[in-house]
Chains A and B, each alone.
Chain A
Amino acid sequence: MRFQLDFLKDYFLEANPNPTRAGCPPEEKLKAMAENRLPADDPARLHLASCSECFAEYRGYRGEWEERRSARKRIAGWLAAACVLVAAGGGAWLYQLQKAEHRAQVQLASSIPVETRVNLFDEGTVRGIEGTNTLQEVSLPARVVHLSIVLPRFSDPGRYLIRVSKDKAGNEVVAQAVGDAATSDRKTTAVVTLDLRTAQAGEYFLATVRGADNGTYYYPLKIN
């Protein structure tokens, strides 16, 4: 088909010489025809079938018009792509900004210690790393917690190390703090502040280590 079109174009370029330019429409009309601005019934359209010179001029105008049109399309394409890029960049920037603000707000909120109380008074304890106690699982939030632990019955007052770790051997310690335990109303309570913000949600162990004899007791802990 392409060959046919080229061939027919060549035919009209060569077959009808009109050196005197008899009956030729003005240039403006040829230009309008090339730019599809002329109605279909304009006689100038049929004149091209009998004048190679006008056909050549028409082709010249047509080619220039098509080049301009494709250039405009190309520019429009680039502009659209640029707009998409700018919008995407702006969106990403806004998202990052909001995320950073949100993170800052969360950080600010989570740096305020949460008052938490754990009551181990009635729980049996198993000493050392071999056994586990029968304590029902304790839950703590992944935040800075101001923890008051009521130690098991008959616990001595004094200095205690409170430790949160992944296992009972004390590996992968998430947080630990030392606090003094005091007895009041026959209950010994140790108060410490633990920063659990870096802890992933999951299963841990809460250990109480008595400073006097290093006696360690473990309780299962869940961080939310």
Chain B
Amino acid sequence: MSRTLLHLVDRQGRHLSLMQRDAVEAAHRWAVREFPRLDPAALASWAEQVGVGLAKRGETIQWPRRYAFAALHGKIREHFRSGAAREIAVGISHDLEKWVGLDRKTARQIERTVLFEQLSTRLNERDRHILVLLLQGVTSPANVAVALNVSYGAAAKAIQRVKDRISTMLVDEPSERESKGSSLRSSEK
């Protein structure tokens, strides 16, 4: 995979220090890896902006790497929130219709938001701990038991429960979820 060469300079066009450059480049590499569908040019541009910000606050920033990650991550989040990546190709009525209407990306974004909401509400703190341990590669019940300070059996059951909950959430069709939601609402009434 080819790497993008970043032009990392401050406002006066001076090169960033080695530590600052390493920090920005590490954050940029991470962003490229984590968000492969994002426009590489946009990512590079944001990383360079982060570099400018880092140089500006050079004295006050204790951990440049931490700053670079947080700043670049913030820019990516902002980009997702604003939906600025949506391509607008206006010219024929079909394109216009697509633009005005709900495109696939927007639908996916909504779906994602709903799922995140569900994860936050349906999973308790222990479930989230287990999930984050699984994502760190701590997958055996023995290790999870040590991490959570519970018995082996309890850890094994908890892992299974989390997996079941996640698959229930992810496998359900949106329409199914909607109908479940509406039935829940009607029962509440």
Contact = CB atoms under 8 A, between A and B. Distances in A.
A147 interface: no
B27 interface: yes
B38 interface: no
B136 A59 contact: no
A60 B26 contact: yes
Contacts of B115: 7, 11
Contacts of A9: 34, 135
Given A40-B143, A45-B132, A60 B77 contact: no
Contacts, number: 94
Contact of B136 (A33, A52, A63, A64): A33
B120 interface: yes
Contacts of B131: 8, 12, 49
B13 to A, nearest CB: 28
B120 A56 contact: no
A40 B170 CA distance: 28
A63 B138 contact: no
B138 A15 contact: no
B147 A8 contact: no
B26 A64 contact: yes
B69 to A, nearest CB: 5
A54 to B, nearest CB: 9
A63 B73 CA distance: 16
Interface string B143-179: 1101111000000000000000011001000000000
A45 B149 CA distance: 13
A41 B149 contact: yes
B33 A63 contact: yes
A15 B30 CA distance: 18
A137 interface: no
Q: What interface size band does chain B fall in?
A: 35 or more
B66 A11 contact: no
B65 A27 contact: yes
Contacts of A13: 34, 73
Given A8-B166, A45-B132, A46-B129, A56 B112 contact: no
Given A60-B26, A60-B27, A63-B30, A45 B63 contact: no
A134 interface: no
A46 B135 contact: no
22 contacts: A3-B170, A7-B112, A8-B119, A8-B166, A10-B112, A11-B119, A21-B66, A33-B136, A36-B137, A41-B147, A45-B138, A46-B133, A48-B136, A49-B129, A49-B131, A50-B128, A53-B73, A56-B34, A57-B65, A60-B29, A60-B30, A60-B69
Interface of B: 26-27, 29-30, 33-34, 63, 65-66, 69-70, 73, 77, 112, 115-116, 119-120, 125, 128-129, 131-133, 135-138, 143-144, 146-149, 166-167, 170
Given A8-B166, A27-B66, 9 more contacts: A12-B132, A13-B34, A15-B116, A15-B120, A49-B129, A49-B131, A56-B30, A56-B73, A63-B33
Which 6 residue pairs across A and B have the least CB separation, nearest first? A60-B30, A49-B132, A40-B143, A49-B128, A40-B147, A40-B146
